[in-house]
Amino acid sequence: MKIAESPSYFLREIVSTDIENVYQGLSNPDITKYYDVHFSSLEATKEQMDWYASLVKEGKGQWWAITDKKTEEFVGAAGYNGIDTIHKKAEVGMWLLKEHWGKGILKEVMPVVFELGFRDFDLNRIEGYVVSDNVKCKKALEKIQFKREGTMRQCEFKNGAWIDVDIYAVLRGEWNLE
């Protein structure tokens, strides 16, 4: 079911048959480079599908498939996890299949994701955690209304090294809800 749209893309619910699409994405080391997840088999990707389903079931978030309006082709996924209903905040995320990088999709689609967060999830604050070395992501985020609030230095230990993570946020008060 389609949930929302931008000029060229739809956001629709992730369904079980998307496991191939999710596997294609989260088995690509260029896509998962800064992620805590990477799946080397279709079977293993079931864990990610279960996670998407558990978010909705537990009211902790929701991820959607991003599809091309003309072709209905799956181009990536975006959504929320870690919804905190007391403090009305959540973490937002997005990944795109590599063949769709560099087309400005994040710039076009992320505002629609923000709109859903403020309107349907009644959030006051939407946060993004970006590994400081993830230049592609940071360049994309510069193109939208998402304030970089700072760097959490050496806040995670990964692959034998400390990593810095940048924190971004947008507030309901500064977002023009449609």
Ligand X SMILES: CC(C)(COP(=O)(O)OP(=O)(O)OC[C@H]1O[C@@H](n2cnc3c(N)ncnc32)[C@H](O)[C@@H]1OP(=O)(O)O)[C@@H](O)C(=O)NCCC(=O)NCCS
Does residue 139 touch ligand X according to CB under 6 A? yes
Q: Which of 46, 60, 88, 107 binds ligand X (CB under 6 A)?
A: 107
Q: Which one, of 148, 168, 82, lies nearest residue 121 by Cα? A: 82
Nearest approach, Cβ of residue 115 and ligand X (Å): 18
Under rule CB under 6 A, residue 170 binds ligand X? no
The size of the interface with ligand X (CB under 6 A), counted in residues, is 20
Write the DSSP string, 97-160.
Answer: -GGGTTSSHHHHHHHHHHHHHHHTS--SEEEEEEETT-HHHHHHHTTSS-EEEEEEEEEEEETT
- Look up residue 102 and give its two tokens: 């560099």
- Contact code string over 70-99 relative to ligand X, x by CB under 6 A: -----------------------xxxx---
Both tokens of 87, joined, read: 């403090």
Considering only 2, 43, 47, 104, the residue that binds ligand X (CB under 6 A) is: 104
Decide whether 46 or 136 has the Cβ nearer to ligand X. 136
Residues in the chain: 178
Instruction: Considering the complex, state which of residue 83 and residue 105 has its C-beta at the smaller distance from ligand X.
Output: 105
* Residue 137 touches ligand X, criterion: CB under 6 A: yes
Distances (CA, A) of 12 to 59, 86, 87, 152: 18, 27, 27, 33
Residue closer to ligand X by CB (options 61, 93) is 93
